[in-house]
Structure 1
Amino acid sequence: MDEFLADDSAGAWEKVVDRLLASEHYGERWARHWLDLVRYADTNSFERDGKKPHSWRYRDYVIRSLNEDKPFDRFVLEQLAGDELPDKTSETMIATGYYRLGVWDDEPADRLLAKYDALDDIVATTGQVFLGLTVNCARCHDHKIDPIPQKDYYSLLSFFHNITPMAGGGPHIEQPLFNSDQARLSYAKSVADLEQRRNVAQANVTAIESDFSLQWKLENPDVDAAGNDLDDLRYRYYRDSWKSLPVFDELKPESQGELPGQLFDTSPTTRDTNYGFVYEGFLKVPEDGEYEFSLDSDDGSRLKIADQFILQHDGIHGEGSPKTSTMSLKSGRVPVRLEYFQALFGRGLSVSWKGPGFSRRSLSVTAGNGGEKKSRHDHKAIAEAIQKNGERILGKENFERYTKSVKNLESLKQEHVPVDMALVISEHGPQPPDTFVFYRGNPQSPRDKVEPAFPSILKAPLPDPIPASENAAEPSKSSGRRTQLARWLVSRENPLTARVTVNRLWQHHFGRGIVRSSNNFGMMGDPPTHPELLDWLASELVFQNWKLKPIHKLILMSKTYRASSEVNAEAFSKDPLNDRLWRFDMRRLSAEELRDSIHSASGVLNSKMFGPGIFSTISKEVLAGQSVPGSGWGDSSPEEQARRSIYIHVKRSLITPLLADFDFADTDSSCPVRFATTQPTQALGMINGAFTHNQATVFAARLRREADGDLRAQVRMALEVALSKKIDDPSVERGMRLIEELQAGKNINEHRAVELYCLMIFNLNEFSYLD
């Protein structure tokens, strides 16, 4: 402030503008607006509201992109199709976290409906953020207001149809980040080495357990033992992502071999997602008769007995809903084949049978996701039996070897190759599925097939053909459709994206856009107050190669931006809503600006940038109100808590109270505008809240330290620091009188009175409003 007031040159204001645009904190300030638009949060919502892994890297990507003034067309391309670019990098992969930011139900009642709800969220966000159109209103029928037919909705959805669904973790939503090809190769080698060591350790444990089971059966012939019903069992293990059971015989297995335990067993892999098995061997049928088989799996599976597929499980009605089938078998060895794949987390496979002379017996090691449904033939039961009888049956030496092998295996399961990870997008493969118009939006009622196309209202040409491969060095893992969409969005054939973007810049400088309904440029939206200005700014953005900082400067240098907020009675009578911009509207600080301004005034604002989210202090009473009380909230040091508010961990079901009081964004959907409400909790929180009281104490300590204990100097400094303006003597005198009255009326010392004076300053309109 002092530097600006001392500069009498004609370019004084321009110097300030250039300095602020060049500041590394510019990106933090403007990233918050973008994060509101793309519904950024660090958790998934719904009852568990679990964490989104590594989502903070997307937030940091946005900050870095804005600071380097990355062209907006490139910014769009990286977020919508960063994985499809021929020059893709770790940064462009992080950018695709855009698709993973929405709410996600980890346990939907209807998986198919949940899939299309997630796609609808992507369509809605993309349509509103980049086009200013509520395309999502045409999901179930033609748009009731805008000329957007239902067909256009599903044509737009088809660009995203091939996306793999969100999950709690796994390779199709998480990807390691590497700075070089050498680092990538080194990581792959370390992972392969660890997996090999795990597999060897598992094989050692399984072999001993198998030996124990066979000897246990000899001693206890009336007790079924693991591995007694299957023989010569072999496996083929595959790694990939599938939506349904593939034709395994056409794929190359990752590994294959014998299963010593003679049970359908997933132990040849230690992975939790994206793997598959084919098991082949023989079923030992004790006598002629009718046998009932049961099959249950978390994802797809299929059972073949005597060259006949008798059971298939879709994985949709998973775990706890087994399929059963009965067939006649002759005694002897009967061929058996089981196919199984696991897409999301778990090891959910259960196979059993029953027949003449015996009740149901398990044919699989793991019966249920996470091993919750236990059979007496699984590893846990065998391990317990070995602990009781192992030394007697196996001998002391083998028993000790088993104990060491188990410890070694458990240690290897806890071992991980360290690597930075990012939340990313992936597709099922280069061939996207067909897309259909759903009758009334019901995915169970597909009607006409549609192809990718842009909204017909914009009279856009059809997408360009997808090249066979833009990057011959790496085979395509996606359809390329999202690249088509992103390129069209920022092409000259589509004027909407530039208009929508500059309107948002104007909005966040003036408090409202030229089009006030900044996510809706349609018939129900507000018309532009200055349509020619909007078009001119849009053309300037394209002319400036889509760089945002020149547009910021253009706006900030204008007389309109630098106008006073004082009311002119004549102008007010003609234009009370200030549509003609005859004055600058007063604007209250956003929730984050208010919190950061308090930290800045108290002198403790931590300028550290980037990294995982921080956790503000929240009272135990508020924490107790979570759906899972006491979970999902961390503890950061006071220094970390004093970082800018953009770094606060955003938990959808638990917003920091001060931010919630002052209209923090609704992160469940795109939030284009934060409405400045006035409500009692704001005053109560600012006057009585632990945060403001603590910061008032810190502020007062700063004043004593920097003003050398001079009370008058403390009062002047407090007002100048907090209000960013020169303070006149009458204002200082009023402050002195208030402190004296506080001392006398509350019987407190000067230090405490100054603390209360600082608290009062935090509650001034001048502190929380720009004018």
Structure 2
Amino acid sequence: MPRLTPLLILPLGLLLAPVRGADPRYEDPDLTPADKAHWAFRAPVRPVPPTGSFTFRVRTPVDAFILAKLEAAGIPPTPVADRLTLVRRVTLDLTGLPPTPAEVASFLGDDTPDAYTRLVDRLLASPRYGERWATHWLDVVRFAESNGYEADGERPHAWRYRDYVVRSLNADKPYDVFVTEQLAGDELAARKDAREAADLWVATGMHRCGPVHMVGGNLDADVLRQEVLTEMVNGVGAAFLGLTLACARCHDHKFDPVSLGDYYRIQAFFGGTRYTDVDLATADEKAARKSKADALEKEAAPLKKQVADLDAPVRTKVAAQKRAALEPRYKDALDTPAEKRTAEQKKLAADAGTLVRVSWDEVLAAMPPAERAKRAALREQIHALAARAPEPAAAAWAIKTTDADAKTHVLKRGSPKTKLDIASPAYLRVMATPDAPKTRADLARWMTRPDHPLTARVIVNRLWQHHFGRGLVATPNDFGLKGARPTHPELLDWLATELVANRWSLKHLHRLMVLSSTYQQCQAAPHPADPDNKLLGRMPRRRLEAEAVRDSVLAAAGTMNPQVGGPSVKVPLEPEVYDLIFTEGEPDGLWPVTPDATQHTRRSLYLFNKRNVRLPVFEAFDQPDTLNSCAVRPVSTFAPQALILMNGPFVQEQGKALAVRLAGEADPLEALYRRMLGRAPKVAERAAAELFLRDQASSVRDRLRARLPVGLDVALPAGADPAHVRALADLCVVLFNTNEFVHIP
């Protein structure tokens, strides 16, 4: 038998103990030539637009690439869409709102050669452009105004990041600057004046968009910290690089040349970063706010005391009843002094405390009716005062480097309890440059290099996706080996290099896309050679997103408040939504509705975006949950969508508002169709609508004669027939439900 080496006879505990004074080693896997050869990891090279038989259809260089592929596949391009379709399509695309009847008439009556070009330029200059495209960006960075998880605490300053995005897009801020400010605005702020510095601080709110545990419970502080860093890295990877970096958090990426070490070297750029709210208010502003808040609290204090005085005796009575109903073992445990309880009695006493706890609804149920009514009136007064509370003192919802020397470790299996080597800031090896980066500003400079393989490609692909229904790369957040290959790689590279050559102007790219003949094609039946329309021989049919559906209803009804920016608005919720969000406390305190009713018809972008509360119309029409980056929204079709657009209180209210506006028109049906669909009703549509109005109005008159409610709780113009207005409101709701209204033509 061979002699045992000393190593084999050492105690097992010593064998398993880590070496003192040294971190366990981690080694990156070798990069192969095949890793670096993947198309997305090579710098884009500007190709020459191809030529072919369809050159007469080329309006921008975009068309040359599309038409060359169609010609090779033997697919003829479809004809150009009619002018009504074009004005509706481009207006909905660039602003998220339908064109007004006056805008449609102006475009249709303009027969100059550059009429469409001037229309596009006007839309790109509109403040509505930034609002529309900010929604797409906020999907990608999973923006919300609450933390998520069980508590779902609100973020009172988050709206400033939303407004920063809108302002940046409207100003056509160069995309490389947009990226840099979000990655490292705090590092740049020191060199700017107060106004510019404030915007830079706000820009870093991108890294706080994801969900976060603010109440950790039993979670370890290191685990919570790692959650925060994970959200930051994953957000950067998805939004700017179009890579699934998250797959390398626990192990080397299974498919892409991104190692565990790569992941933590990117994380090291954020290692010393912490959340911070940067004070933006002046001393006078703070003093004025405190004075107003103190005055309101002084006014509310006696009301709160009256409520407490009403609650206290009832709560005591109910608690006594619940205690009397306990089993003897629970009573014995509670009667035993705490210091003398056995272990079992301590557990029983804790359980008994839960059993005798009195909820607010139990208090109300036991309260005499007169006192309950008095209490409800007091609560209404308290809420009215709370709704008048001033906004929190201005602050930037930001991040800041607080420890430049913080150490980041490679984590085995992603656990902060199994630290391997120290990871210093560095770029992804497959695209690395030889410099030695240290700060997030360095990371931003690397990402915005003119020859960076991913940054420009990723953003131009997002623009293409939202104009044509699908990206040139169909997986906008995954340009890796398992992502979709580009359908038109040369066009993708041409667009990426065109963006950089034109000072990273996104509006320049929009213009090239929507002025192309490819974009101006009509919708047509699928071609057998390309049933999925990957080669874009026709314009795809696209449904409006949830927010754009609601906004289009407001625009058609003429009730939209056009105010841009500012604190978010809380609109009244349907009763069933209150039931879903109720946890503890009184539900009327969970969602203090914005008291100014004119704010309730703001654009959907400005509605308070709480992770655990979504309006039914948004949920039905596939608004993302904001837990993860959403590059492509799903498009589902199911019965509740029609029910919400037909019976929902919001749509019913807007239908009545529009009917009142139409009541004074010489031809209400003509005006209705032009407001909703941009055109006059067809002969058959008019006949069907007139029959519908007669039947509905007759039914309403019968109900009025029987003194039954007809749901017409709006002021009518002088001389208006209530039955006709009510019937017209129902017809408005019918048109809200048409495919022509909720789809981009």
Q: State the SS of the aligned residue for 1:448.
A: strand
- The equivalent of 1:660 in structure 2 is 619
Shift of 1:421: 1.4
User: Using the alignment, how far apart are the partners of 2:235 and 2:393 within structure 1?
Assistant: 31
Identity %: 40
Relative to structure 1, the CA distance from residue 142 to residue 616 in structure 2 (aligned partners, 3 Å threshold; closer, same or farther) is same
CA distance in 1, matches of 2:566, 2:740: 33
Aligned AA (1:690): P
Is 1:686 matched with 2:659? no
Which residue of structure 1 lines up, in the alignment, with residue 141 of structure 2?
38
Q: Tell me the CA shift for residue 536 of structure 1.
A: 0.4
> Which residue of 1 is the match for residue 674 of structure 2?
720
Is 1:71 aligned to 2:26, yes or no?
no
Determine the structure 1 residue equivalent to 2:272.
162
Structure 1 residue 639: Cα displacement = 1.2
Q: Give how far 1:566 is off.
A: 1.9
**Which amino acid is the alignment partner of residue 730 of structure 2?**
L
Distance in 1 (alpha carbons) for counterparts of 2:542 and 2:483: 22
Q: Contact between 2:134 and 2:166, CA under 8 Å: does it hold in 1? A: yes
- Counterpart of 1:756 (choices 718, 730, 733) is 730
Structure 1 CA distance for aligned equivalents of residues 128 and 436 of structure 2: 39
Contact 1:696–1:755, Cα closer than 8 Å, also in 2:
yes
Cα offset for 1:32?
0.6
| Aligned ranges 1:562-573 → 2 under 5 Å | 562-567=520-525, 572-573=527-528
Where does residue 576 of structure 1 map in the other structure? 531
Residue 686 of structure 2 is aligned with which of 714, 732, 735? 732
Instruction: Identify the match of residue 430 of structure 2 among 433, 449, 457.
Output: 457
Q: Does 2:56 align with 1:101?
A: no
Alignment equivalent of 2:457, drawn from 474, 491, 499: 499
Kept after mapping to 2: 8 A contact 1:596/1:644: yes
Pair 1:416–1:128, CA change in 2 (3 A): closer
Out of 115, 123, 132, which is 2:242 matched to?
132
* CA-to-aligned-CA distance 1:313-366 (integer Å, 9 cap, x gap): xxxxxxxxxxxxxxxxxxxxxxxxxxxxxxxxxxxxxxxxxxxxxxxxxxxxxx
Check conservation: 2:156, 2:392, Cα contact below 8 A. no
Calculate the aligned-residue CA RMSD, in Å: 2.3
Q: Give the aligned partner of residue 634 of structure 1.
A: 592
Question: Hey, what does 2:420 align to over in structure 1?
Answer: 447
Cross-structure match for 2:739: 765
**Equivalent residue in structure 1 for 2:480, among 504, 508, 522:** 522
Which fold has the larger relative contact order, with Cα–Cα distance below 8 Å and residues 6 or more apart in sequence? Answer: 2
**Aligned-partner SS, 2:422:** strand
Indicate conservation of the 8 Å contact 1:187/1:417, yes or no. no
Aligned to 2:421, the other structure's residue is in SS state: strand
1:733 Cα deviation after fit? 2.5
**SS at 1:426's partner residue?**
strand
Displacement of 1:418 in angstroms is: 8.5
In the TM superposition, residue 129 of structure 1 has moved relative to its aligned partner by 0.8
TM-score (norm 2): 0.66
Shift of 1:744: 4.4
Q: Following the alignment from structure 2 to structure 1, what is the Cα–Cα distance between the partners of residues 398 and 654? A: 39
Structure 1 or 2: more strand by fraction: 1
Show the counterpart of 2:635.
Answer: 676
Please tell me the residue identity of whatever aligns with 2:176: D
Q: CA deviation at 1:419?
A: 4.5
What residue is the counterpart of 1:508 in the other structure?
A: 466
In the alignment, residue 204 of structure 2 is paired with which amino acid? Answer: T
Distance 1:41 1:57 in 2: 12
For residues 435-489 of structure 1, the C-alpha deviation after alignment (integer angstroms, 9 at most, x for no partner) is 211111111111122221111122x1144455xxxxxxxxxxxxxx111111111
Alignment match of 1:114 (pick from 200, 205, 224): 224
Counterpart secondary structure, 2:273: coil
2:503 match: 545
Report the Cα distance in structure 2 between the residues aligned to 1:416 and 1:581, rounded to whole angstroms: 52
TM-score (norm 1): 0.64
How far apart are 1:516 and its partner, in Å? Answer: 1.0
Conserved? CA contact 1:664–1:674, under 8 Å = yes
Identify if the C-alpha distance between structure 1 residues 638 and 187 changes in structure 2 by more than 3 Å, giving closer, same or farther: closer
Deviations for 1:372-404, whole angstroms, at most 9, x for unmatched residues?
xxxxxxxxxxxxxxxxxxxxxxxxxxxxxxxxx
Separation in 1, partners of 2:692, 2:625: 40
Task: Tell me which amino acid in the other structure corresponds to 2:408.
Answer: T
CA distance in 1, matches of 2:590, 2:494: 47
2:271–2:406 Cα contact (<8 Å) kept: yes
Q: Is the 8 A contact 2:207 2:235 kept in 1?
A: no
Larger Rg: 1
Match of 1:472 in 2: none
Q: Which residue of 2 aligns with 1:27?
A: 130
Equivalent AA in structure 1 for residue 729 of structure 2: E
**CA–CA separation in structure 2 for the residues paired with 1:763 and 1:452:** 53
Gaps of 5+ in 1: 167-172, 195-414, 467-480
2: CA distance, partners of 1:47 / 1:593 = 29
Counterpart in the other structure of 2:604: 645
CA drift of 1:730 comes to 3.6
2:115 is matched with which residue?
A: 12
Cα deviation code 1:127-176 (max 9, x no counterpart): 11111110110111111121211110111110111111x4xxxxxx1112
Q: Counterpart of 2:501 in structure 1: which amino acid?
A: F
Secondary structure, aligned partner of 1:425: strand
In the alignment, structure 1 residue 616 sits paired with structure 2 residue 571: yes
1:316-327 equivalent positions in 2, closer than 5 A: none
The 8 Å contact of residues 645 and 651 in structure 2, kept in 1 or not, is answered as: yes
Q: Distance in 2 between matches of 1:631 and 1:118?
A: 30
Equivalent-residue separation in structure 1 for 2:591 and 2:509 (angstroms): 39
Alignment deviations for residues 552-609 of structure 1 (CA, whole Å, 9 cap, x no partner): 0000100011110122xxx521111000101111110111110011011111111001
The residue number in structure 2 matching 1:372 is none
- Give the partner amino acid of 1:736: E
Counterpart CA distance in 1 for 2:653 and 2:601 is: 12
- Partner of residue 441, structure 2: 483
- Separation in structure 2 between the aligned mates of residue 584 and residue 737 of structure 1, nearest angstrom: 35
Q: Which amino acid aligns with 2:185?
A: G
Deviations 1:260-283 (Å, cap 9, x if unpaired)?
A: xxxxxxxxxxxxxxxxxxxxxxxx
- Tell me if structure 2 keeps the 8 A contact 1:463–1:484: no
**Residue pair 2:149, 2:212 contacting (<8 A) in 1 also:** yes
Query: CA contact under 8 A between 2:198 and 2:280: conserved in structure 1?
Result: yes
The one-letter amino acid of 1:716's match is E
Residue 265 of structure 2 contacts residue 426 of structure 2 at CA under 8 Å; is this kept in 1? yes
Contact 1:49 1:652 in 2 (8 A): yes
Describe the shift of the 1:631–1:487 C-alpha distance in structure 2 as closer, same or farther (beyond 3 A). farther
Corresponding residue of 1:473: none
CA contact (8 A) 2:147 2:212 kept: yes
Partner of 2:493: 535
The match for 2:661 is 702
Distance 1:698-1:147 versus aligned 2 partners, 3 A rule: same
* TM-fit CA distance, 1:726: 3.9
2:496 alignment partner AA: A
Query: Following the alignment from structure 2 to structure 1, what is the Cα–Cα distance between the partners of residues 622 and 184?
Result: 32
Judged with a 3 Å threshold, the aligned counterparts in structure 2 of structure 1 residues 631 and 572 are, in CA distance, closer, same or farther, namely farther
CA–CA distance in 2 between the matches of 1:631 and 1:110?
32
Alignment counterpart, residue 555 of structure 2, candidates 600, 611, 630? 600
Q: Which of 128-137 and 621-630 deviates more? A: 621-630
CA distance in 1, matches of 2:225, 2:634: 31
* Cα deviation, residue 57, structure 1: 0.5
One-letter amino acid of the counterpart of residue 762, structure 1: F
Query: 2:567, 2:533 → 1: CA distance?
Result: 42
Shift of 1:624: 2.4
1:417 positional shift:
13
After TM superposition, give the deviation of residue 512 of structure 1 in Å. Answer: 1.3
Q: What is the distance in 2 between the residues matched to 1:720 and 1:110?
A: 60
1:115–1:631 Cα change, 3 Å: farther
